[in-house]
Chains A and B, each alone.
Chain A
Amino acid sequence: MKRTLLLYILSWFLLCNVLSSKGLFANGLYTEIEVPDGGCVAGYVKCTGNAGAPSIDLYAGWELPRASQVISEKLTVNKVNNGVKNVIVSISDIEKGKKGVVPQIHPVIDQQRSVFIPRVTAILAGTTVDLLNGDEEMHNVHTTSMRNQPFNFGMAYKQRISKKFDFPETVKLSCDIHKEYAWIVVFGNPYFDVTDRNGYFEICDIPEGTYKFRVWHEELGKREKEVMVRAKKIENIEFVYE
């Protein structure tokens, strides 16, 4: 009961904000300002320990020949510097900052050999994502989400489905036929990045101040760190999963 009550309060709060801001950024806490001399934060997300071994998703290739079985990107750790791929870095408590630009060219999530490529996509609220099927067989795209309207469509070869995500939320996108999935993370502000295969990320044009930086990985979970950003300076930080 307590939980429901909390949800009520929370949702009421959010609803008010939606009404008041009338903007795309539904969490409303974010105000757009000019940031002429913002600072940058760049760095690596690393993982130490045994987690570095790539996990093989045995389900992914159930009807493919052995040679073409795909190694899942569930947890990809660079052998050279232990950098983790596909970690989402964001600032959790930023209240004002640069203007978010919704890309005119839609980000694409393709399905090839029954695997979603890319596995993790981070977008600004209001962005339209194009879902593709590059396999000569049937897939489906099935999202589970609460605020963004979920969907579940069958997709034949070369089909293209465009979907707009309006509310900040983490959306799981899956193909039930092949038990493969991907993540679409929607943000209410433009301060976010996804690490590359070296675990590198950078977020720029941040107004001066101290912020909480948050990283999230589907397997490794969340980490948070406070970082001071100075004007026109590049701050180097490192997140380490142990």
Chain B
Amino acid sequence: MKPKGLFYKFGFLSAAVFSCAVMSVNMRPTTASAIEIPTEVTEEGKNVYKKYCSPCHGEEGGGDGPLSRSMIPKPRDFTRGAYKFRSTPSGSLPTDEDIFRTISYGVPNSTMIPWDILTEEQRASVIPVLKSFSEAFEYREPDAPVEVGLPLRPTERTILEGKKIYEEKLECWKCHGVEGRGDGPSAAEQEDDFGFPIKPFDFTTGKFKGGNSPTDVYLRFTTGLNGTPMPSFAKELSDEERWYLTHYVMSLVQPEECEE
């Protein structure tokens, strides 16, 4: 693929992302800091969890609710305290805000819908319930969120640099495939910590699971996805290199596939 093509594609994408962001301003849930997240398990939290979460995640948070049987990927098992989408370093527990964010935005490409259908108080009330399922929260505290460096502006050069990292330095293609379709040579045998097969992400879909903004994608490289084979590259890549990689993987999105 010609770098120029990549650049244009990226230009299109960022325009699309921007316009989506503008359109969805009203739909955006307010950040968790605006509301109070209870520290103790409340009666309301238990009820909300039982009604809306337990059908998939199970009454005891084991990811084994009655609907989980036929689901792929399986609903998250909360007993390990392994949360994929965080602002904290690899392996760390998530902050309450991270959990609130995932509940509110949902996880694209999964059955986890954005639960903005519930009120903010309801969503917040579930958080202590989720934490109560894992003893990890008794042993450990979440680390401080990682620092997100100053974003770079995507250019032809940054995308090219990112391509080099993707193909040579980190060999991302081994799982995610040369074209980013999630079909690399190691893709088929990947398992998550719970022993279920897990598919490497297909970048061409454009529906990034942790959010579509460049910062979200940047955070995924930096923090890794706990409980999955996706490692953190905080030690491997400099801040700038992570932006390069962000720009490159976002350029892999096929616009016609994310139009739907």
Q: Do A and B come from one complex?
A: yes
* Residue positions of A touching B, CB distance < 8 A: 1, 3-4, 7, 11-12, 15, 59, 62-63, 137-138, 140-144, 146-147, 149-156, 159, 161, 167, 176-179
* B-side interface residues, number (CB < 8 Å): 38
- Are A153 and B90 neighbours in the complex by a CB distance under 8 Å? yes
Which chain B residues lie closer than 8 Å to A12 at the CB level?
Answer: 138
Which chain A residues lie closer than 8 Å to B60 at the CB level?
Answer: 1, 3-4
- Are A153 and B234 neighbours in the complex by a CB distance under 8 Å? yes
- B interface secondary structure, majority: loop
- Are B189 and A59 neighbours in the complex by a CB distance under 8 Å? yes
- Are B138 and A11 neighbours in the complex by a CB distance under 8 Å? yes
Which chain B residues lie closer than 8 Å to A3 at the CB level?
Answer: 60
Per the bound structure, the CA–CA distance linking A138 and B138 in Å amounts to 34
- Are B229 and A161 neighbours in the complex by a CB distance under 8 Å? no
Chain B nearest Cβ from A203, distance in angstroms: 28
Per the bound structure, the CA–CA distance linking A123 and B136 in Å amounts to 21
- Are A149 and B92 neighbours in the complex by a CB distance under 8 Å? yes
Per the bound structure, the CA–CA distance linking A143 and B169 in Å amounts to 22
- Are A153 and B233 neighbours in the complex by a CB distance under 8 Å? yes
Per the bound structure, the CA–CA distance linking A161 and B189 in Å amounts to 25
Which of A1, A138, A143, A146 interacts with B136 by CB under 8 Å? A146
- Are B175 and A154 neighbours in the complex by a CB distance under 8 Å? no
Chain B nearest Cβ from A25, distance in angstroms: 15
Which residues 210-260 of B sit at the A interface, judged by CB distance below 8 A? 224-226, 228-236
Which of B138, B175, B186 interacts with A15 by CB under 8 Å? B138
Known pairs A146-B80, A156-B169; A151 contacts B135 (CB<8 A):
no
The residue in chain B whose Cβ has the minimal distance to the Cβ of A172 is B193
- Are B91 and A159 neighbours in the complex by a CB distance under 8 Å? no
Known pairs A152-B90, A153-B90; A142 contacts B229 (CB<8 A):
yes
Which chain A residues lie closer than 8 Å to B232 at the CB level?
Answer: 151-154
